[in-house]
Structure 1
Amino acid sequence: MQVKNCDIQINYKTLVYDASFTLVDEQVNLLIGNNGVGKTVILDQIANLDNNRPAGFLEFPDQSDLVYQTQGVPFIDEVSVQTVLTLFEQMAGANFLTQGSLPNIIEKNLQTRYGNLSGGEKRFVMIWATLQIPRKLYLFDEPLANLDPYHTAEVMKMFYAGVRDGKTIVLTTHQFEGLESDLTHVVHISDQKIAFDGSLSNFTNKHGEDLAKVLQAMPS
């Protein structure tokens, strides 16, 4: 999957000029950069939300073969966690509630009202359920936002378990805990251009281990 020589635009405003980058199969692909650089717009275009994906977006799956979890992850607060997962089962065409073991965070809360979960628990439930839907590509917009260190670590473990099972994941984030260099590809957007496109190890070799500090020092 790649974007080739494509201007990233919204409402006739160009956010990134002549963007070219690759997303790597069976890896966690990070879209990073400061707020407003166009990360979410890129996810929207990959997901083809307006049925007008730019011609420069090449080899991406059809809408039916991808799943896109946007920011916020709203859901019905009054239903139980088990009911939430049952709805995801129907979308997935699977029976993951009865096949294999559930993560402890989910198992202990199956009968809990979804609205009574903490923000981190809600996010965990939604990300885990989304990853059970069989698709060629998984898109997540700021899945780590406002998570505490424990839930951040648990979510990242889920992502890397997913890629080890053959999933391809793309996410936007400003948090960089729990990354695995050999399974992580980085696309960095800065100053209206693709500033970096490559492995996490090459990125840290060039800029240092503290990714958050690197972004603070870079223009956007």
Structure 2
Amino acid sequence: MVIRADDVRRRYGQTVALDGVSFSVEEGEVFALIGPNGAGKTTLIRALTGTTNADGHIEVFGSQPTEVARHRLGLLPQEFSPAERLTARELVAYHAGLYDHARDVDAVLEDVGLTESADTRYTNLSGGQKRRACVGTTLVNDPELLILDEPTTGIDPTGRRDLWRLIEELADSGTTVLLTTHYMEEAEELANRVGMLSDGNLVALGSPGELIERHGGDSRLVVEADDEAAATRALEMAGYHLLPDQRHVAVPAAPEEIPAVVETLDEAGVEYDGLLWRQPSLDDVYAALTGTDVTVGGEHLTEARQ
């Protein structure tokens, strides 16, 4: 076992940041902690790496976090701002110099896809390239455990997917990865298991598939209507049970049931911008368990525009 956390608690004055969190991460696993800003993700990362005190019991590689040899860990904080005058090569080389036995800098740059941009100053890199350079600084010591706090926040979708591929390659090579994210699609794509945090509490733990099957509910048809009240009345009068949805009116529906919903809306004279059919996702799981929504990086949507 790489990480073991039992009943971890942390307060900042009257604010409860962590309220009895327990979970474990196995060797070679990709484990995602998901939740909105303020859920306790970063505080938990700091507790796991020994950079903040917390009550409860934490073990990393069987030792207290502060006793773990630094070369065994790679950490990318959410807020990481390198000197912008450095090139990507200089940035990675600087961090390699912090270890007695570091990887070849060019090999690391190749791993993160920056060979052609190695001599570009950090300030001139794209958002995705900057984040890959930052990940490169965590790989110079060939860590057994890689901890990434919101690794893709603030970068474009292309850069995000590039980083996903890199994380998948690292996991395939045997690196244990713990990441935090508020992008549900990211967790579904990368993680073997996820832990859902809400107000410092771990409200769910399991594989994405297990959690969606257990808590995600039915596939649904989402109605994007200017007058949501009218759409709601029409569907309820036709006998449809509306599903909780933080954004639009939604009813449980298989693909073959879409024409009947369309007919109901048309007969009631309800105008709508579009219909979106989608299967349940981790976002629906989180909403079902907490009653709140999380900003998502993307949804599995199939358009049925009329």
Do they superpose with TM above 0.5? yes
Which of 177, 180, 186 aligns to 1:169? It is 177
Structure 1 residues 161 and 132 mapped into 2: Cα distance closer, same or farther (>3 Å)?
farther
Structure 1 residues 124 and 213 mapped into 2: Cα distance closer, same or farther (>3 Å)?
farther
Instruction: Between 198-207 and 115-124, report the one with greater CA deviation.
Output: 198-207
1:85, CA displacement in angstroms?
1.8
Question: Whole-Å Cα distance in 2 between the matches of residues 98 and 81 of structure 1?
Answer: 10
Q: 2:198: which partner in 1?
A: 190
Which of 90, 96, 101 aligns to 2:97? It is 90
Q: 1:76: which partner in 2?
A: 83
Q: 1:205: which partner in 2?
A: 213
Q: One-letter code of the match for 1:128?
A: G
Which of 139, 152, 161 aligns to 2:147? It is 139
Aligned partner of residue 105 in structure 2, secondary structure: coil
Q: Deviations over 1:164-201 (max 9, x none)?
A: 21211111101234556795210111254211112222
Structure 1 residues 11 and 23 mapped into 2: Cα distance closer, same or farther (>3 Å)?
farther
1:103, CA displacement in angstroms?
4.8
1:30, CA displacement in angstroms?
0.6
Q: Percent identity?
A: 24
1:149, CA displacement in angstroms?
1.5
Mapped contact 2:32–2:181 kept (Cα < 8 A) = yes
Q: 1:26: which partner in 2?
A: 28
Aligned pair count reads: 219
Instruction: Between 170-179 and 145-154, report the one with greater CA deviation.
Output: 170-179
Q: 2:263: which partner in 1?
A: none
Q: 1:56: which partner in 2?
A: 57
Structure 1 residues 141 and 179 mapped into 2: Cα distance closer, same or farther (>3 Å)?
closer
Once the two structures are superposed, the pairs formed by residues 100-115 of structure 1 within 5 Å of their partners are 102-103=110-111, 105-115=113-123
Instruction: Between 127-136 and 153-162, report the one with greater CA deviation.
Output: 127-136
Larger Rg over CA atoms: 2
Give the unaligned 5+ runs of structure 2. Answer: 217-279, 293-306
User: Once superposed, what is the RMSD of the aligned Cα atoms?
Assistant: 2.7
Mapped contact 1:207–1:214 kept (Cα < 8 A) = yes
Which of 6, 27, 44 aligns to 2:46? It is 44
Given the alignment of the two structures, is residue 66 of structure 1 paired with residue 67 of structure 2, yes or no? Answer: no
Mapped contact 2:7–2:57 kept (Cα < 8 A) = yes
Question: Whole-Å Cα distance in 1 between the matches of residues 85 and 197 of structure 2?
Answer: 40
Mapped contact 2:149–2:180 kept (Cα < 8 A) = yes
Structure 1 residues 156 and 76 mapped into 2: Cα distance closer, same or farther (>3 Å)?
same
Q: With a CA cutoff of 8 Å and minimum separation of 6, indicate the structure with the bigger relative contact order.
A: 1
Instruction: Between 39-48 and 114-123, report the one with greater CA deviation.
Output: 114-123
Q: 2:243: which partner in 1?
A: none
Mapped contact 1:191–1:219 kept (Cα < 8 A) = no
Q: 1:118: which partner in 2?
A: 126
